[in-house]
Structure 1
Amino acid sequence: MSTVVAPKKEQKAERTGREVPKYHVVLWDSDDHTFDYVEKMLRELFGHTKKDCEQIAKGVDEEGRAIVLTTTKEHAELKRDQIHAYGKDNLEGSKGSMWATIESAD
């Protein structure tokens, strides 16, 4: 009994024909968190530039939500969970981390 293995070129061509679905990590507005907290969290968890962090924090405040990353589902779930685990702000009344969700980018 012999095993048939497809040539590597055929396997590679087959993989490029399928696109991996993308997901947005959405950060939701919260009155319990300061701009400094949001910007620091985004820098630490996502590696965004200071300017990008400022724009995202402003967008969350004005629009009620902002997309902070678009990636694969597994990576989006990880980043959402990291936001949830980040911890509370030093602001009086802050009860915990900010809220984030993931949604299909399609």
Structure 2
Amino acid sequence: MSTLTLPDIDLDHEVTVDPAKSWQTTVWDDPVNLMSYVSRVFRDYFGFTHEKAEELMLAVHNEGRAIVATGAREQMELHVQAMHGYGLWATVDQAAT
């Protein structure tokens, strides 16, 4: 029988989370969804105007991604889940400082 030795772990290490830090929901381009569908999802879910939805959809199409929302992490995670429900590719990332 052998003995497994684990490294010492500092359990007193503090992790600081800054609640003021913003997070963002990014929607990514994909080869499946039509541009008109992406624009409609942005209007229906986020309540964007037609013009804003088209602008963001074109950013997704032309630049490969668009940041569609910024705020608290929990809310951004809900947005990502909703985008996945619509069949869109989306992620949560910490906003640049």
Structure 2 unaligned regions, length at least 5: 1-17
How many angstroms apart in 2 are the aligned matches of 1:80 and 1:28? 11
Moved over 3 A (4+): none
* Residue 9 of structure 1: aligned partner: none
Aligned residues: 79
Residue identity in the other structure for 2:94: S
Residue identity in the other structure for 1:100: A
* Residue 3 of structure 2: aligned partner: none
2:4 corresponds to 1:33: no
Structure 1 unaligned regions, length at least 5: 1-17, 87-96
* Residue 88 of structure 2: aligned partner: 98
Q: TM-score, normalised by structure 1?
A: 0.70
Question: What is the aligned-residue identity percentage?
Answer: 33
Q: TM-score, normalised by structure 2?
A: 0.77
RMSD over aligned Cα, in angstroms?
1.3
Cα shift readout 1:57-78 (whole Å, capped 9, x = no counterpart)? 1101111111001111000000
2:65 corresponds to 1:65: yes
